[in-house]
Every structure is written in structure tokens, then in C-alpha cells.
Amino acid sequence: MHAVSDASALADKLAAPMNAIVSRHRAALMPMLGGSSSAARSALVNDEAVRKVAVFCYPLLPGIVRLAVKEHSFVNFVMNHREHLLSRLTADTAPTA
């Protein structure tokens, strides 16, 4: 039962920084997922594309988060929560300013 609460705590700590990164770096992330919202939705089932996005985002996390969470754990987190974390990329087709 402890593992479930640990996973939940990790999700809480990583979701907000990941959402901020997705919002700020949409223009750089979209080409990794195919360029358009419809292509991005399709790419979410492609493990390699999602892994590429996660590896790109990891260095953009706040330093204190990177100290606490290793890249492998972060990539696994993104892979397991891809629909929720990357929904901002696929929901809006208008470019961000």
C-alpha cells in the first residue's frame, strides 16, 4: 500500500512542472509528435515519440526536481501518464504566442 502513495506523491510533484514545460515549449514539442494536433494524438501511442518528448523535457525540470527524480523515473512517469500530461499539445491547434 505504501507503493501506491509513493507513486501518487511522485505524480503530484511531477505533474505541475511537466504541465508548465508543455505550455512553454509547445513549439519545440509538437514536431516530435508529428507537427499537428491530429498527428500528435496518433503519436501518443508511439512509445519512441513519447520517450523523445520525455527526454527533451527532463533537463527543463527545476533543478531540485531533477535532484529528487532520476531521468529513468521521469521517463517512466511520462510514458505511464502520457494522455494526461500531453493533452495540452493535442487539445489546442492555435499556436501559442
Q: What phi and psi values does residue 10 have, to the nearest 5 degrees?
A: -65, -45
Tens of pLDDT along 15-32?
777 778 877 877 887 777
Say what the pLDDT of residue 20 is.
Answer: 81
Q: Which helix (H) or strand (E) holds 8?
A: helix 2-24
C-alpha cell of residue 37 = 494536433
Q: Is the pLDDT of residue 1 over 70?
A: no
**Torsional sign, CA 20, 26, 28, 34:** positive
Tens of pLDDT along 40-82?
677 777 888 889 888 998 998 889 888 988 999 999 988 888 8
Q: Is the pLDDT of residue 3 over 60?
A: no
Q: Please tell me the pTM assigned to this model.
A: 0.68
Q: Dihedral (C-alpha) 67, 50, 84, 73: value to the nearest 10 degrees? A: -30
Distance, CA of 80 to CA of 63 (rounded, Å): 22
